[in-house]
Copies of this chain bind each other. A is one copy, B any other.
Amino acid sequence: MSTQDKVQLPSWNEGASKASIFRFLEAVTSKGSATFVPPLDRIAVFDNDGTLWSEKPFYFQLIFALDRVKALAGQHPEWQEQQPFKAVLEGNIGGVLAGGLKALIEILLVTHAGNTSEEFEQIVLDWIASARHPTTGRPYTEMIYQPMLELLNTLQAHGFRNYIVSGGGIEFMRAWVEDVYGIPPEQVIGSSIETRFEMRDSGPVLVRLPKVDFVDDSEGKPVGIHKFIGRRPLLAFGNSDGDLEMLQWTAAGDGPHFMGLVHHTDAEREWAYDRESPVGQLDKALDEARAKGWTVVDMAREWRVVYPWETSS
């Protein structure tokens, strides 16, 4: 492997994870090798929240949904007295979370449905351009991991197609991931609500309905991968227990496969959390990764920089 290739991961310190990535790439891309894989089968899948961008204090898409509740409150005077919306409008996140999964789904459906696919895309684009993270003050699209961007680029340079396989909303992600990660819409797999084709005077539209279609998390991830891609990935990267089944599904393929976890160990530059975290809990998958020799990236030790802005300062 040439030096040119090696420098494609400049934000990774020399260490076990970087070495394992290049060892894997050499195994599957060296012509004449018994473990060579043709480019069409070079599929890489990445979780998004906590793997490609941050997920604290909680999933950024949930922050989007809470902002939407505030934006829509004028059309819903009843929300002033109705939970979980009342708690959102009072900025009482504890009250929202006290409602459990049911409250969160209610908020997600109300804020993601009731518009057309084109209208929703514009709503997301407007939000992502203007919203700022509560502690860093940065746009959310800057809170992506520079080392993972480099990994995406390195894989692409080696003939891989990178897919996102996330519990996040497929349409929420598609609005911005092509610009930010270079991943086109047809390579984004996520959770979805149902849509209905409707012919209007202005032409056909897809109306977004307040009904869950698919939950692309945990056991849903291999289901989504098989449904959308129909091939087993060669590489999978996640950061939480919600990625375990995707990693297991990838590991079960023949020949060399790469299974990786981002371990959030960096309270200084990002966040440090794993087994006890309500968002991005990493417990069972960490045990399995260690037992099976998967790559566990120690963020604090192995990443020279975390966010892109650190490289330009």
The answer to whether B222 touches A204 (Cβ under 8 A) is yes
Q: Chain B: which residue is nearest A229 at the CB level?
A: B186
Interface residues of A toward B: which range? 20 to 34
Given A40-B184, A204-B222, verify A197-B249 contact (CB < 8 Å).
Answer: yes
- Chain B residue nearest to A121 (CB atoms) is B230
Given known contacts A184-B40, A219-B197, A222-B204, is B227 in contact with A170 (CB within 8 Å)?
yes
CB distance from A105 to the nearest CB of B (A): 20
CB distance from A226 to the nearest CB of B (A): 6
For the complex, is A100 an interface residue (Cβ under 8 Å from B)? no
Scoring A residues 35 to 76 as 1 if CB is less than 8 Å from chain B, else 0, what string do you get? 000001000000000000000000000000000000000000
CB-based nearest B residue for A228? B228
Q: A192: which B residues are within 8 A, CB to CB?
A: 227
In the bound complex, residues from chain B placing their C-beta under 8 Å from that of A230 are 170-171, 174, 185-186, 188
Write out the residue numbers on chain B whose beta carbons fall within 8 Å of the beta carbon of A77.
none
Q: Mark A204-222, 1 if CB is under 8 A from B, else 0.
A: 1010000000000001101
Q: A184-B40, A185-B231, A229-B186 are in contact. Are A223 and B206 (CB under 8 A)?
A: yes
Minimal beta-carbon separation of A225 from chain B (angstroms)? 9
Across chains A and B, which 6 residue pairs bring their CB atoms closest together, nearest first? A185-B230, A197-B219, A203-B252, A186-B229, A197-B222, A174-B230
Chain B residues with CB below 8 A from A174, complex form:
230
**Contact residues in B for A186 (Cβ distance below 8 Å):** 186, 228-231
- Find chain B residues with CB under 8 A from A229 CB: 185-186
Contact of A223 among B196, B222, B227, B245 (CB under 8 A): B196
A248/B204 contact (C-beta < 8 A), A117-B226, A230-B174 known: yes
A192, A230, A252 — which one has the most chain B CB atoms within 10 A of its CB?
A230
Q: A34: CB under 8 A from chain B?
A: no
Verify if A195 is at the interface (C-beta below 8 Å from B): yes
- Contact yes or no, B204 A249, CB < 8 A: yes
Give CA–CA (A230, B229) in the complex, Å: 14
A170 contact set on B, CB distance < 8 A: 227, 230
Q: Tell me which residues across on chain B come within 8 A of A291, comparing CB atoms.
A: none
A101, CB-defined interface residue at 8 Å? no
Note all chain B residues with C-beta closer than 8 A to A197. Answer: 219-220, 222-223, 245, 249
Which residue of chain B has the shortest Cβ distance to A163 in the bound complex?
Answer: B186
Q: Does A199 contact B (CB under 8 A)?
A: yes
In the bound complex, how far is the Cα of B199 from the Cα of A40, in angstroms? 27
Between A and B, 7 residue pairs with Cβ closer than 8 Å are A171-B230, A197-B245, A199-B248, A204-B222, A204-B248, A204-B252, A206-B226
Q: Which residues of B contact A249 (CB under 8 A)?
A: 197, 204
